[in-house]
Amino acid sequence: MKEEEPHNINTDYSEIIQNNFVIQSYVNGMSRFLILGIVKSKEPIHGYGILKELDKFFTTLIQEKSLKKSNPSKIYPVLNKMEELQLIKSHFEMKGNRKVKFYKITSEGKYVLDYLYTRFDHIHGNKQWTELFRDMDKS
């Protein structure tokens, strides 16, 4: 019977990390929350500006290649859905000879953002949450 090799601390886990479903799911979920926050703090802001701001939150993951930079084909459908749900609203402005779409948060969007913020605060202060992370730190 062949013995298993001992776990090597220097093992290259980059293939496991790159395009990992768990990481992608986390980022996709957080991105929606972050987009509302970005629009609120930087309004009015255009889609490209949102992309750049969003990438700043995930700089480490992007540098480690566990996450790709934000992609317009993923962000604009989210912005359209948020506008459909009246969380944000848009308007066009001329920038040179181009029409550029800018976004602002609505009162409904502010309410949702505040709701999520307070719930995240409660979750992070939750005893089970802190115990989970303390236990993960021990392993």
Pair of tokens at residue 13: 């886990």
The reply to whether 31 falls in a domain is yes
Q: What range does the domain containing 85 cover? A: 17-127
Residue 19's pLDDT band (boundaries 50, 70, 90)?
low
- Taking the model in full, what pTM does it have? 0.75
pLDDT score of 34 more than 50: yes
The verdict on residue 69 lying in a domain is yes
Task: Between 68 and 18, name the one with better pLDDT.
Answer: 68
CATH code of the domain in which 113 resides: 1.10.10.10
53 domain-assigned: yes
What domain count does the chain have?
Answer: 1
Round the average pLDDT of the chain to a whole number and report it.
Answer: 84
Cα–Cα distance between 116 and 35 in angstroms, integer? Answer: 13
